[in-house]
A = this chain, B = another copy of it.
Amino acid sequence: MTISKTADVSTHPSGTDKREKILRAAVKVFARKGYFSSKVSDIAGQAKIADGTVYLYFKSKEEILHSIFNRMMESFISQGRSELENIEKADDKLRRIGELHLERLGADRDLAIVFQVQLRGSIKFMREFSAAGFAEYLDIIRRTIAEGQKQGVFRRDLNPVICSKIFFGALDEMVTNWILSKKKFELAPAAGEVMEVFFNGVARK
């Protein structure tokens, strides 16, 4: 991202840039060392600013973590919404959600690590994370499944709530494994197989 110091007079000229810079630095640092083991000065160092400057943009180290996942969830959900609104069939929608999920996290390994690992590191974070947008995400999946049941493409004998957890859990585990794996492989392609199992099961008919 370039340091355009001419353009946006609307907000803080450099303010947004620096905030952005800190967040990116924090993602990198948190990904490598974990939230608790990361020092604020590590983040400042990575962002090439003075330690104190961090506090001009964030109230605390914890707020940085919050900002990371709030921003991510927001863009995640809004992107999801716009992509899905033109899709009619619930199964297609779900397939697209799965693809987006893996594409998005597969595109930024550090961000994925923060999501998969650091966010799970404390019940407190998880609850806050849940409140911040994750619950909504799960609910979108649930509604899509319920929609599919109405449309007649999904079985009606299954509980959409449980199905949504299974769906999310399957994707989530793909991401986690990808992160931990030493072999570099593409995450997104796995979406197809996940959907196949989720839709049709592993049983031979």
Q: Which residues of A contact B (CB under 8 A)?
A: 1-2, 31, 34-37, 41, 44-45, 50-51, 91, 113, 116-118, 120-124, 126-127, 130, 145, 148, 152-156, 158-159, 162-163, 165-166, 168-174, 176-177, 179-180, 190, 193-194, 196-204
Contact = CB atoms under 8 A, between A and B. Distances in A.
Q: State the copy count for this chain.
A: 4
A25 to B, nearest CB: 13
Given A121-B34, A203-B199, A166 B170 contact: yes
Given A117-B122, A120-B120, A198 B200 contact: no
Q: Is the interface of A mostly helix, strand, loop or mixed?
A: helix
A39 to B, nearest CB: 10
Nearest to A202: B154
A165 B173 contact: yes
23 contacts: A1-B44, A2-B41, A34-B121, A36-B121, A117-B123, A120-B120, A121-B122, A152-B204, A153-B204, A154-B202, A154-B203, A154-B204, A158-B196, A159-B193, A162-B190, A165-B170, A165-B177, A169-B172, A170-B173, A197-B201, A198-B202, A199-B202, A201-B201
